[in-house]
Amino acid sequence: MSNTLLEVKNLKKYFKTTKGMLHAVDDISFTINRGETLGLVGESGCGKSTTGRVVLRLLESTAGEVLFGGADVLAFNKKELRRFRENAQIVFQDPFASLNPRMTVAEIIGEPLVINKKTSNRADLYKRVIKLMDTVGLASRFENSYPHELDGGRRQRIGIARALALNPSFIVQDEPVSALDVSIQAQILNLMDELQKEFKLTYLFISHDLGVIKHVSKNIAVMYLGKIVEMSDYSSIFKNPLHPYTKALLSAIPIPRVDKKRERIILEGDVPNPIEPPPGCRFYGRCFCRKDICKDTDPELKQVSETRFVACHVAT
């Protein structure tokens, strides 16, 4: 059994818009090993959430390959897809929108078991729902509550319990803590850590918050406008970022410290429009160390050391 659980090769996802093709995900490749976490970080509109959804086939890809345990996810038929979804789950960003307001907590958590016929009778279902609630730290007295009666942290626990119900090996975490307050965020992050160890889970962890990403991930991929610009193990990317965008992103984070002053790189302008992007490096317009070559030639993601990849003509 190979150690690689998920392998994504040259994945593309374009959306048709009235103004032209929107390149949400444009030719990205990465792998995740069993039991590890890849953190996917980037600003809004960089395609990180789309990546998560295409990998789970909640969205159909435009081109590329997704191999899950060696099997081609994009070629699955209906039946195989259903089996795949028992193995690969997702936790959503918004604990308000991702739970059906007309269903009780127990109904929501039990639904995957019902749909996939994992249980034969009500008593067994009930037992398993209560066990799941216990696993994610939800008191069983909330079983008949509706989501709107609970706070954000508890709702997110419901979402996690639902994702765990089918015993998946892989979970896409789509900004699972960004809607939560810091003190609750820390509780949920710790819970995810524990669950990963207990159930040997593999995560694709999507976030815009580098602090969160660093906390949870072994490897980190930085996305900008549909491309992975840098990918590396977590410590080197923070100690020595190579790509100018990574540098700027790191320096832009306000750090809750007064003893350390870091140099600020303030980027010019806004993230450009992903509709029909011009050739050349996507970061060209905002880059502070651009060269002529960057304007016309799109840099490829090149391996610079055993664990590091960077897509830049200047930084290597």
Partner 1 sequence: MGDVTVNVNNESKKKRSQLHDVWRRFRKSPIAMTGLCVVVFMVLVALFADVIAPSDGRNPGYDIHNLGNRFQAPNAEHIMGTDEFGRDIFARVVHGSRVSLLVGFIVVTFSMTLGVIVGAIAGFFGKVAENILMRFIDVLLSIPPILLAISIAAAMRPGMMSIVLAVGIGALPLYARVMRASVLTVKEQEFIEAAYSIGASKFRIIRKHVLPNCIAPIIVQATMGLAYAILWAAALSFLGIGIQPPTPEWGAMLSEGRMYIRDHWHMVMFPGMAIAIMIFALNMMGDGLRDAFDPRLKK
Partner 2 sequence: MSDILLKIEDLTVHYITDDGTVHAVNDLNLSLNKGETLGLVGETGAGKTTTALSIMGLVPNPPGKVINGEVEFEGEKLFEKSEAELRQVRGNKISMIFQDPMTSLNPIMTVRDQIAEVVLLHENLTAKEAKEKADEMLLKVGIRADRAKEFPHQFSGGMRQRVVIAIALACNPVLLIADEPTTALDVTIQAQVLELMKELKKEFNTAMVMITHDLGIVAEICDNVAIMYAGSVVEQAGKEELFTNPKHPYTIGLFNSIPDIDSDDSVLKPIKGLMPDPTNLPTGCPFHPRCDLAMPQCSEILPKRTEISENHYVKCLLFDGGG
Chain positions contacting partner 1, by CB under 8 A? 53, 56, 58, 81-82, 85-86, 89-90, 92-94, 97-104, 106-107, 109-112, 114-117, 119-122, 125-126, 129, 143-144, 146, 159, 162, 165-166
- In whole angstroms, how close is the CB of 295 to partner 2 at the nearest point? 21
Tokens of 213: 């990403």
Segment holding 123, helix H or strand E:
helix 122-135
d(CA 67, CA 7): 5
- Kindly state whether residue 256 participates in binding partner 2, applying the rule CB under 8 A: yes
Quote the least distance from Cβ 140 to partner 2, whole Å: 17
Count of CB atoms within 10 A of residue 64's CB?
17
Piece of 27-35, 103-111, 127-135, 251-259 that binds partner 2 (CB under 8 A): 251-259
44 is an interface residue for partner 2 by CB under 8 A: yes
> Of the two residues 163 and 267, which places its CB atom closer to partner 1 in the complex?
163
| Residue nearer to partner 2 on the CB measure, 123 or 182 | 182
Number of residues counted as binding partner 2 (CB under 8 A): 43
The one among 39, 147, 153, 277 contacting partner 2 by CB under 8 A: 153
Helix 122-135 / helix 152-164 crossing angle, nearest 10 deg: 120
Least Cβ distance, residue 63 to partner 1 (angstroms): 22
One residue of 1, 77, 141, 259 binding partner 2 per CB under 8 A:
259
Q: Nearest-CA neighbor of 88 among 104, 60, 66, 110? A: 66
Binding partner of residue 19 among partner 1, partner 2, none, CB cut-off 5 to 8 Å per kind: none
Q: How far apart are CA 280 and CA 253, in angstroms?
A: 27
Ramachandran angles phi, psi of 170, nearest 5°: -135, 135
Rank residues 87 and 236 by Cβ distance to partner 1 and give the closer one: 87
Return the closest-CA partner of residue 87 out of 56, 49, 59. Answer: 56
Residues sharing a CB contact under 8 Å with residue 201, sequence separation 6 or more, in sequence order: 35, 168, 169, 170, 171, 195
Strands of 109-242, DSSP E: 170-174, 202-207, 219-224, 227-233
Q: In the range 177-196, which residues lie near partner 2 by CB under 8 A?
A: 181-187, 189-190, 193
Interface residues with partner 2 (CB under 8 A) are: 43-44, 151-154, 181-187, 189-190, 193, 208-212, 214-215, 235, 238, 248-260, 264, 266-267, 270-271
